Structure 1
């Protein structure tokens, strides 16, 4: 088999995996694919596999990075304070039709470098408000959704700056295929086996019913309170109609929600955060009664400040995720400058909204009940990486006794 044919076979496996395991398209279901230009070869295969799986219709929304950059550079300020009604209607159409949503990431990590942070913040606010119902459906797993990635030349150059241009793309493709288990004889079966392993770990944590987590590492001394009704979940989810799907591909995490006002101490990032076309590096956050009261960063502090100022909930945490340091993505030693991959190589936390599904009967809780249980609300949800090989995490049980959860960056039970 030639190298070209081998690549095409892997690309086809990847598309099939996204359709059958990621969003798990059902007979007669609509699928919306959001993708940047440059991903056409993969997206065309996704569309084909979706129809073969029984999709009723497949719609593709294309984005162009150069146009996005020009828009942020030249559009008037008021443009960033609104979101197109037709586009918010389209998102709600997916919810109303009980469709599936697939996002293909391939963006340049530095796409919006140098853009006024105020513009980025304004648009994120407008988008969050306009798509509130869509994001609520995502948070509650009311529709099947998934995120996958494909290399672009600028992204690959960021990850592998010392390689030649074509070698950069090949190297990033190789890492992505490895991370999503493409290349084995039956990727679909391999993924189901992998998710079974993560599910067993989540079940063990749920049996503990931890009261708190205490993180210790260089620059980190943080305590996070967990509600007695919290649930540890994996990337495997299920819609109300019983359709299984995997929201992030790859995924190596088990995660839950913190009590909104129960976070205290300081945490230090261990990987750069690629956020809205900017990179934030070496930052620390200090929490008091759940709220971020102090922050610092060696790079991108202005972007970090605007992120946390987005709304009241953006200064609180919405997710706690555990990923062992010795895991397939971390073992590559590669910094991806893409949260989809970097968060699955490291313990991480998320600024902003909580997933109600991480609470018993959370998807049927009223807004008042969510607030009562300490679930954070925000129009943002941004993961940042804090794990390392020297991180220890203790679990505090309901009787105040301790149990080791992580030692030296890896599972301790």
Structure 2
């Protein structure tokens, strides 16, 4: 076993989740990530925790969705999640486009059925991470060895140092009320964050981490945004997404590729046309785009927004939390001709923050 797998597992157990004696732990991973699962089981044994291993297969998931005529809430799965203290989930399947031929409407129906399961998991301690596989390396345009180095370099960052740097932005957002994002000629979007909470992601729920994120007030978004970086969703690439917002809701949309999939996401439910997350990437160890949102949204010089559900911890008691079966992140490149303003003051210009040299 590569010693970096053991280090990866130790960061998950000790930094990201704090697994302790008596914890009931679900470890859900594809077969390709078995080494990481083995290392996690060993550490659970060391800590006195109780692991259950779920081997997740995209092939099996595809077969089920294509064969089913309808979906019901899986009560047995919900029962397991209700009894679980910690979830560790890894991506890393062999074929990143495995579910590309599942009808988008089918996927939306499936997600609606599983929404209570997702919400139960989000209420617990959880960590989503990545195991480096040749399939993801190919998607990133990298050799397997180079991709392994990329993933484990990002995972094994000095998270205490990263936390301290990101705390500067966390403080600005928690003291602010209105955010304006401008980039190029097409993105000019304002939103309120008043009463909501900005969180510092330094490798806990997401590993790697490297962002500060919050939720906008649900009906506050006004303006337009061009997401100029592509995303992979359900095995298909969506490019050049353009959204226009009025009173928080997406009122018009387009995409340069797979617009039907974008439309299906936006039509999933009432909440899928509202934004549940505003995130600002701050991890400059992630220095290239890899078509993997777990990494791409953390890149320095980027902003991302997610249509769909908001994380409960980011929404203040006086504000409405956007709820949806979807949570789909999309990215804006902020490295050139761009600004982020908070309460009328520019706090980032062309990717450089007000608290950094060169601002």
**1:30 is aligned to 2:50:** no
- TM-score relative to the length of structure 1: 0.80
Equivalent residue, structure 2, for 1:354: 310
Specify whether residues 65 and 102 from structure 1 end up closer, same or farther in structure 2 by C-alpha distance, changes over 3 A only: same
* Partner Cα distance (1:109, 1:218) in 2: 33
Residue in 2 that maps onto 1:232 = 198
Alpha-carbon distance between aligned partners in 1 of 2:325 and 2:126, rounded to the nearest angstrom: 18
CA distance in 2, matches of 1:132, 1:104: 15
Hey, what's the Cα distance between the residues in 2 that align with 1:257 and 1:232?
8
Residue matched to 1:247: 205
1:297, distance to aligned residue in structure 2 (A): 0.9
Matched, 1:152 2:133: yes
Q: What is residue 187 of structure 1 aligned with on the other side?
A: none
Supply the distance in 1 between the matched residues of 2:161 and 2:351 (Cα, whole angstroms): 24
Please, which moves more after superposition, 63-72 or 102-111? Answer: 63-72
Call closer, same or farther: CA 1:133–1:353 in 2, change over 3 Å.
closer
C-alpha distance in 2 between matches for 1:293 and 1:109: 31
1:257 maps to what in 2?
215
TM-score (norm. length: structure 2)? 0.91
Q: For structure 1, which segment, 259-268 or 64-73, has the greater mean C-alpha deviation from structure 2 after superposition?
A: 64-73
Deviates more, 1:59-68 or 1:257-266: 59-68
8 Å CA contact 2:65, 2:110 repeated in 1: no
How many angstroms does 1:93 deviate by?
1.7
The aligned counterpart of 2:6 is 12
What are the ranges of 5 or more consecutive residues in structure 2 without an aligned counterpart? none
What residue is the counterpart of 2:159 in the other structure? 191
Q: Equivalent residue for 1:102?
A: 88
TM-aligned CA deviation for residue 379 of structure 1: 2.4
Higher share in helix: 1
**Residue 4 (structure 1) aligns with:** none
SS in structure 2 of the partner of residue 58 of structure 1? strand
Per-residue deviation, 1:132: 5.7
Residue in 1 that maps onto 2:44: 50
- How far is 1:403 from its partner? 0.8
Partner of 1:219: 186
1:336 aligns to what? 290
Give the aligned partner of residue 233 of structure 2. Answer: 275
| Partner residue of 1:290 out of 248, 264, 270 | 248
| Distance in 2 of aligned mates of 1:265 and 1:30 | 45
Listed one character per residue, the Cα deviations across residues 300-324 of structure 1 (whole Å, up to 9, x for unaligned) are 2111111111110110001111124
**Structure 1 Cα separation of the partners of residues 348 and 168 of structure 2:** 16
Is the CA contact (8 Å cut-off) linking 1:391 and 1:409 kept in structure 2?
no
CA contact (8 A) 2:179 2:192 kept: yes
Q: Which runs of 4+ in 1 moved over 3 A?
A: none
* SS in structure 1 at match of 2:128: strand
* Alpha-carbon distance in 2 for matches of 1:213, 1:375: 21
In our comparison, the structure showing a higher alpha carbon Rg is 1
Contact 2:59–2:99 under 8 Å retained in 1: no
Is 1:407 aligned to 2:349, yes or no?
yes
Where do residues 65-76 of structure 1 align in structure 2 (5 Å cutoff)? Answer: 65-73=58-66, 75-76=67-68
SS in 2 for 1:39: helix
